[in-house]
Amino acid sequence: MGSEVSFPGLGISVNIDSVAFTIFGLDIAWYGLIISCGMALCVILAMSQARKNKFSSELVLDIMIVSVPMALIGARLYYVLSEWSYYSKHLSDIFAIRDGGLAVYGGVLGAFLGNAIMMKIRKIPFSTCADYAVVYIPLGQAIGRWGNFFNEEAFGTTTTLPWGMTSNKIQAYLRMNCPELDSTMPVHPTFLYESICSFIIFFVLMHIRMKSKHAYETTASYMILYGIVRFFLEGIRTDSLYIGNTSIRTSQLLSLILVIGGIALIIVSHKLNWTRKPLPEAILAKDVKLFEEEAKVEDAKDAKDESSTIEANSENEAAMSTESNNEDVK
């Protein structure tokens, strides 16, 4: 059944349904579909940009085969453990991820663990792969956050800003879980804020990866940038996970650790002059060969164009010279 989500300040209302379509009686939720599309786009981009960045497209696929499942497991495990008081009594719901319940930080930790395992198996410098692959994490987050929109979740406190959103589901949640807030007022679309910020982080990291030669600098930049964004956005969310019975928000604490760790990593990398190590030639061989062949084709094309230009100029000069001589004869 659809639900109406409105943005009163903008005069916009949209009807949404958490279910995208049904196959053989099985509902396919927008939440999972959007996250899957985000992951697929990240893999495609990572593979297509590999040769340009002197990386291996085949290695990207190997990393993703391990890291993507590890990210999903980590994201779900993190959320389940944080809400163990509920899941301990509803064990069958642990695997019901179509309705939401994937924690970003758990997913990031799972992805890095999967990456580390693959690098250990392939005997490849972890920093080299981490600095290449980390760029695509915020892109996946930026797209995946729109799954929260279709689930009408991950929103913030009430606001008078024109882009505030509301719906019957949001109002019901506020009445039950945040009685101190006026449930009739719109709320901050924090999923949208994080999506926009994550897109910006993605492009910033692309630039850093291209310019930086220091090991872990791109990875540390992600830790700092996303940590800052998440710390402030978590402060206005109404569905935060807390540490035990304290008022400490789990994601805010992790964000602080991430920022401090990222700053420390950059300082150490520069202080000890850690440089990003290239991949072993055996792994790069196929991609480098293709890259060099493409470069030769481009060089040959440029040389041909230049030769044609010179030839055309010579013919023009010869024609002008002949015409001048004819005039002199007259």
35-72 confidence digits (pLDDT tens) = 889 989 998 999 888 878 778 888 888 888 888 889 88
CB burial of residue 268 (10 Å; 0-12, 13-18, 19+)? middle
Cβ atoms within 10 Å of 286's Cβ, excluding its own:
13
At 233 the pLDDT is: 96
**Is the CB of residue 41 less than 8 Å from the CB of residue 139?**
yes
Q: Domain residue spans in the chain?
A: 19-151+189-279, 284-330
pLDDT band at 180 (very low <50, low <70, confident <90, very high): very high
Question: How big is the chain by its Cα radius of gyration, in Å?
Answer: 27
Q: What is the CA 197 to chain-centroid distance, rounded?
A: 10
At 203 the pLDDT is: 97
At 323 the pLDDT is: 58
Amino acid at residue number 309:
T
268-300 confidence digits (pLDDT tens) = 999 999 998 877 766 666 655 655 665 566 666
> pTM for this one?
0.81
Least confident of 39-43, 165-169, 251-255, 307-311: 307-311
215-256 confidence digits (pLDDT tens) = 999 999 999 999 999 999 999 999 888 888 888 999 999 999
